Amino acid sequence: MAKNDNMLAILWMLNSGEKMTAKQISEKLEINIRTVYRHMDALCASGVPIISDPGHNGGYSLMNNFIRAPLLFDMEEKKALLHAAVFAKEAGYPLSSALSNATSKLKLYSNQEQESILNHHLAGIDVINPMVNTSLQPILAELEQAVEKEYSVEIEYRTGREAQSKNRIIDPYGMAYWNNKWYIVAFCHLRDEIRSFRVDRILLVKRTQLIFKRPDDFSGREFLMKNLLPAIEGEEGLVTLVIEGRAEALDELCMHWFLGHHLKERTTNQAVFLFEEKTIHLYVPNFLLPYGKSIQIIEPQSLKERLVVIASELMEYYQL
C-alpha cells in the first residue's frame, strides 16, 4: 500500500474514536512499526490533531469531532490564516463574526502543542490601524450580501460637499478597502452611471426587490483607482514640481498615495513630480504643509506663493 494510502487508512482508523497503539496499527496495515511512527510524525506536522498518550494504556487518538476540522492546513498555513485574520479584523472586515469562528476552529482542532505554537506566533504580530467605526459593520455586511447575490439596495448617502443626505438606488458591483476607508463601487440609478461611494458616508442601506447582473469583466479595484488616480498621458501642459529635503521626508512623499502617482524622478536629495496646473495649486499644498522645514520647494514659484498665502491665512485665523 502506498504511503498516502497508509496515512489515510490511519486517519480513518483513529477517526472511529478508539485509541490505538502503534503495534495495533502496524499489524492491521501490515507495515513496520517504525513506518507507523514516521506516518504519525508526518500527520502531526501537517496539522492533524493527534493525541499521543504514553504508558501501559496509552496509544494514539484524535480530538473529538475531527471530521469537522480543517484537515488540509499545515502549521504554516494555519499561522498565515490567523495572521491574515488580524489584518482583516483591523480593517473592519464585514464578515468578522464568521472570521472569528473560523480562526477559533483552527486553534480548536489543534493539539496542545500546535495551539501553543499558534498562540506564540499570534503574540508576535500586531496591526496598528485607525479604528474602524463599529456602526459600519451592519452596513458592510448588507452591502457584501448585495454584491454576492446581485440585488439592488437603497442607500441614504451624504457626500462631503452636501449637508443633507440623499436617497438613491444602487447596484453594488464590488467592495474595496483603500487608504483606511471602505468603498462600494456600484451603478447609481440616480446618475445613470457607475460610481464609488464611501461606506462611512452611507447612513442607511435597505434591500430592494430589484435584481441586476454585474458585468463579467468588471473590476472594482480598477474602476476605483482610475477615478481617484487618473492616468497621466504625456507631459504637455503639465507643471513640474521639484522638491528637495531630507531623505526620509522625500521617501514619504514618493510613497504618498496621491503624490507618488505623479512621481517622475527621484534622486538622493530631490524628487520631481508632474501635475496639472489646477491640481498642483488645489490639492498639493495641503499635502506639503505638514512637512514644514523638512522639505523645500524649488519650483514652481507659483506653488511657493500659494503656500505663503495659505500659511498667512492660517496665522491670521489663529490670531483672532
Cα 61 from Cα 19, distance rounded (Å): 5
Q: Are 63 and 49 in contact (CB under 8 A)?
A: yes
Please report whether residue 130 resides in a domain.
no
Domain termination residue (choose one: 45, 68, 91): 68
Domain interval for residue 299: 238-319
Asked whether residue 288 falls in the same domain as residue 249, the answer is yes
Asked whether residue 202 falls in the same domain as residue 251, the answer is no
Cα 206 from Cα 213, distance rounded (Å): 19
What are the pLDDT digits (tens) for 218-253? 998 999 888 888 777 777 789 999 999 999 999 999
Asked whether residue 266 falls in the same domain as residue 303, the answer is yes
Asked whether residue 242 falls in the same domain as residue 214, the answer is no
Here the CATH number for the domain that contains residue 10 is 1.10.10.10
One-letter amino acid at 211 equals I
Please report whether residue 314 resides in a domain.
yes
C-alpha distances (whole Å) from 115 to each of 38, 44, 98, 120, 122 are: 22, 12, 20, 8, 10
Give me the chain's average pLDDT, please: 86
Please report whether residue 202 resides in a domain.
yes
Mean pLDDT in each 10-residue stretch from start to end of the chain (320 residues)? Answer: 76 80 88 89 80 83 63 74 84 81 76 80 79 81 94 92 87 91 94 94 95 92 86 81 95 93 93 91 92 95 94 89
pLDDT at 91: 81
Domain termination residue (choose one: 206, 228, 250): 228
Asked whether residue 245 falls in the same domain as residue 301, the answer is yes
Cα 278 from Cα 309, distance rounded (Å): 16
Asked whether residue 140 falls in the same domain as residue 223, the answer is yes
> Hey, which residues does 188 pair with through a beta bridge?
170, 193
Cα 249 from Cα 288, distance rounded (Å): 10
Asked whether residue 142 falls in the same domain as residue 208, the answer is yes
Please report whether residue 260 resides in a domain.
yes
What are the pLDDT digits (tens) for 107-116? 776 777 777 8
Domains: count for the chain: 4
Please report whether residue 128 resides in a domain.
no
Please report whether residue 131 resides in a domain.
no
Asked whether residue 222 falls in the same domain as residue 249, the answer is no
CB atoms within 10 A of CB 299: 13
Element (H, E) at 288: helix 284-288
Q: What are phi and psi of 185, to 5 degrees?
A: -100, 125
Q: Which three cell numbers stand for residue 100?
A: 472569528
Domain termination residue (choose one: 228, 260, 286): 228
Asked whether residue 45 falls in the same domain as residue 81, the answer is no
Asked whether residue 140 falls in the same domain as residue 217, the answer is yes
Please report whether residue 61 resides in a domain.
yes
CB atoms within 10 A of CB 136: 16
Asked whether residue 248 falls in the same domain as residue 309, the answer is yes
- Provide the whole-model pTM: 0.65
Please report whether residue 37 resides in a domain.
yes
pLDDT at 67: 52
Q: Which three cell numbers stand for residue 313?
A: 491665512
Cα 111 from Cα 33, distance rounded (Å): 23
What are the pLDDT digits (tens) for 50-65? 888 887 788 888 876 5
Here the CATH number for the domain that contains residue 217 is 2.30.30
Asked whether residue 93 falls in the same domain as residue 62, the answer is no
